[in-house]
Chain A
Amino acid sequence: MSQHSHSHDDSVEMARHHHIHADLPPDPALRVKALESLLTDKGLVDPATIDAWVETYESRIGPRNGAKVVAKAWVDPDYKQRLLSDATTAIAELDLLGSQGQHMVALENTPGIHNLVVCTLCSCYPLPLLGLPPTWYKSAPYRSRAVLDPRGVLREFGLDLPEHVKIRVWDSTAEVRYLVLPERPAGTEHLNEAQLATLVTRNAMIGVAKVTA
């Protein structure tokens, strides 16, 4: 590894030449810097808060919060009832990191009903529960086809549902976000809540996959 730092080929010299002053970031990065410094000057944002959010996005919020909610609903019938009747309050009970107090609705998958979540307008998504949306969730093909041809979309994700299963598509908004409560897979009776949570995937909570044991 250290040999690399001793090489003196042209590319290294070129790189040195360009590093006389600090690298100019790409245009969008400069626009963000302009916004952040202006908003900081006006006292509207605190740079430390922004840094904390960025760190949270990058390393701490994933689909784990959502998985905890699902696993609890699987093992605790009373909690499941509360989750299905008032998800916002039931989720708040768990005191999960990064909760933003969005209005949440939980959708239960059953042998006869499969729920699928989309945001046709932009990419509204339950960030505190699932982390950041995957790129495909934000893409135009998913946003339009999830509504037009949900069965085909699910097939594309490797989920071929029998014809008798009804598919319900839910369009998220800024005011209402959805969490799919997937079916608990067979053969998991011996697992505890924490073990169950590890089985629950982001895709299952969006509704493009089932949970498998």
Chain B
Amino acid sequence: MNQPEAKPCADAALQPIRRVEGEPLFAEPWEAQALALAVALQQAGCFTAVEWADALGVAIKRAQAGGDPDDGSSYYLHVLDALERLVQEKKIASADLLAAKKAAWVDAYEHTPHGKPVELR
């Protein structure tokens, strides 16, 4: 209740629209992969396009409330948040399972010599 005065949402109406022509589509490969996963799960029937748009909208609002600039640069983080949340809501995987899998990947990276393909063990 005692949060600092961060109101990016309200202020957005006053801000100029920042544009960069010819910008790269993705800043990093994981952004494209996250988007592809969202599309693949819709095609697999795990959730609908409407559920996806709702989840993404919620993720963006939550990020705004937390002080996210919401200038488009953090968009794929919102995509990732929405994906993780939907996967949990649809009981496809729990938060614990996601965390364990991530830890397994960290472990794999730390134990794979440079130049070798990183694989889960």
Q: Which residues of A contact B (CB under 8 A)?
A: 19-26, 28-39, 42, 44-46, 49-50, 53-54, 57-58, 100, 102, 121-124, 131-132, 134-145, 148, 153, 156-157, 173-175
> Can you spell out 18 A-B residue pairs with CB atoms less than 8 angstroms apart?
A21-B113, A23-B114, A28-B28, A33-B101, A33-B102, A35-B98, A39-B40, A44-B46, A49-B36, A53-B32, A102-B49, A122-B53, A135-B73, A140-B9, A140-B71, A145-B17, A156-B17, A174-B48
Partner of A39, one of B18, B23, B92, B106: B92
A142 CA / B72 CA spacing, docked (Å): 10
Could you tell me the distance between the alpha carbons of A126 and B40 in the complex, rounded to whole angstroms? 17
Contact B71–A141 (Cβ < 8 Å): yes
Assess A32 versus B71: contact at CB under 8 Å? Given A23-B109, A24-B110, A174-B53: no
Report A83 CB to chain B, min CB distance, Å: 22
Query: Is A136 touching B19 in the complex (CB atoms < 8 A)?
Result: yes
Task: Tell me if A's interface is mostly helix, strand, loop or mixed.
Answer: helix
Q: Do A34 and B101 have beta carbons less than 8 Å apart?
A: yes
Output the least CB separation between B94 and chain A (Å). Answer: 10
For A144, the chain B residues whose CB sits under 8 A away are 9, 12-13
Q: A38 touching B93 by the CB < 8 A rule?
A: yes
Shortest distance from the beta carbon of B11 to any chain A beta carbon, whole Å:
8
By a CB distance below 8 angstroms, the chain B residues around A173 are 50, 53
Q: How far is the CA of A134 from the CA of B24 in the complex (A)?
A: 9
A/B pair count, beta carbons within 8 Å: 198
> Which chain B residues have a beta carbon within 8 Å of chain A's beta carbons?
8-9, 12-13, 15-20, 23, 25-26, 28-30, 32-37, 39-41, 44, 46, 48-50, 52-54, 56-57, 60, 64, 70-73, 75-78, 80, 83-84, 87, 92-93, 97-99, 101-102, 104-106, 109-116, 118, 120
B12–A26 touching, CB < 8 Å: no
Contacts of B41 in A (CB 8 A): 39, 44-45
Contact A139 B114 (CB under 8 A): no
Using Cβ atoms and an 8 Å threshold, which residues of chain B touch A44? 40-41, 44, 46, 92
Q: A35-B37, A54-B29, A54-B33 are in contact. Are A21 and B53 (CB under 8 A)?
A: no
* Chain A residues whose C-beta falls within 8 Å of the C-beta of B116 in the assembled complex: 22
